[in-house]
Amino acid sequence: MNGPAKAANPAARAAWLKQLHQWHWISSAVCLIGMILFAVTGITLNHAADIESKPVVISKTAQLPAELAAAVKPKAANETANETDSKAVVPAPVRAWLSQTLGRPVDGREAEWSRDEIYLAMPRPGGDAWVRIARDTGEVEYEDTDRGWISYLNDLHKGRHAGVAWSWFIDLFAVACLLFSITGLLILKFHAVSRPSTWPLVGLGLVIPALLALLLIH
C-alpha cells in the first residue's frame, strides 16, 4: 500500500511544480515590460523634486464664427446663474471647429458652463490644457502645458488622467504581478528544502520595510 502511494507523490509533486513553472514564466512574460516601466517611474517619482522639468506652454486666442458663437450664447438676457452654472458637453460643431483651429482634438468631455463663459479642462498624462469661451462675444482662449516625457511616464504610473483603458490595464497588470509573485512563492516552497537560505531571505524582504515603517517614518 505504501509503495504505490510513495511512488505517486513524487510524480504528483513534479506535475504540480511543472504547472507552477508554466504559470510563473507566462505571468512574468506578460508583466515584464510593465514591471520595468513601474520600477523606473517609481525611482523618478521618488526623486521628483531632484529632476528638473521645464514645462512648455502654448497659448492661443481665436474667435468663434458668428453661427457657432450663437450656439453658445445665453438663451435669454434674464437667464439666472442657477440655470447656467452646470456641466454639459460643448456642441459638436463647436468642438470640431476648436479641434481644427487649435490643432488639438477636443473630445466630448463635459465642460463647466456659467452665464459668462464655458470652461473646458483637458488634462492628460504629462500635461494639461484648457479652453475658455466667452459666451457673449465668442472669444476663445486656449492654453496647453507639456511637462515632458518623465512627467508623462510618472502620470501613467499613477493612472492620472489616462482614461478607462489604461485603468483596466493597471488592474490586469496587477493581477499578472500577483500571479507571478504567488507562483514564485510556491516554487520557493518546493525548493526550500535544498536551499536553507530561502525563508530567511523571504523574511528579510518583510522585516526591512516593516522596520523602516515603524522606526523611521513619522
Other CB atoms within 10 Å distance of the CB of residue 107: 10
Residue 7 lies in a domain: no
Q: How many domains does the chain have?
A: 2
198-215 helix and 163-191 helix, angle to the nearest 10 degrees: 130
CA 214 to chain centre: 30
Full domain range(s) for residue 211: 12-52+158-215
* Of 7, 62, 17, nearest in space to 186 by CA: 17
Residue 173 lies in a domain: yes
My answer on whether 143 and 60 are in the same domain is yes
CB 53 within 8 A of CB 148: yes
Residue 2 lies in a domain: no
CA 145 to chain centre: 18
**Which of 119, 147, 175 delimits the end of a domain?**
147
My answer on whether 61 and 133 are in the same domain is yes
My answer on whether 139 and 62 are in the same domain is yes
Q: What was the pLDDT predicted at 184?
A: 94
My answer on whether 60 and 142 are in the same domain is yes
Other CB atoms within 10 Å distance of the CB of residue 130: 15
My answer on whether 42 and 107 are in the same domain is no
pLDDT band at 159; cut points 50, 70, 90:
very high
> What's the rounded mean pLDDT across residues 14-23?
91
Q: What was the pLDDT predicted at 112?
A: 96
Winning range, highest mean pLDDT, from 49-58, 68-77, 151-160: 151-160
Residue ranges of the alpha helices (H) in 49-197? 66-72, 81-84, 92-102, 149-158, 163-191
CB 30 within 8 A of CB 176: yes
Please state, for a pLDDT cut of 90, what percent of the chain lies above it.
78
pLDDT band at 1; cut points 50, 70, 90:
very low
- The grid coordinates listed for 110 are 463635459
What's the whole-model pTM score? 0.81
Residue 184 lies in a domain: yes
Average pLDDT, the chain: 90
**Which of 96, 128, 147 delimits the end of a domain?**
147
My answer on whether 86 and 124 are in the same domain is yes
My answer on whether 202 and 189 are in the same domain is yes
> What's the rounded mean pLDDT across residues 177-198?
93
Residue 44 lies in a domain: yes
| Res 209 pLDDT > 90 | yes
What letter does residue 49 receive in the DSSP assignment? G
What letter does residue 116 receive in the DSSP assignment? S
What letter does residue 164 receive in the DSSP assignment? H
> What's the rounded mean pLDDT across residues 185-202?
92
My answer on whether 129 and 66 are in the same domain is yes
Residue 77 lies in a domain: yes
Burial 138-165 (b: 16+ CB within 10 A, else e): bebebebbbbbebbbbbbbbeeebbeee
**Which of 147, 179, 205 delimits the end of a domain?**
147
pLDDT band at 165; cut points 50, 70, 90:
very high
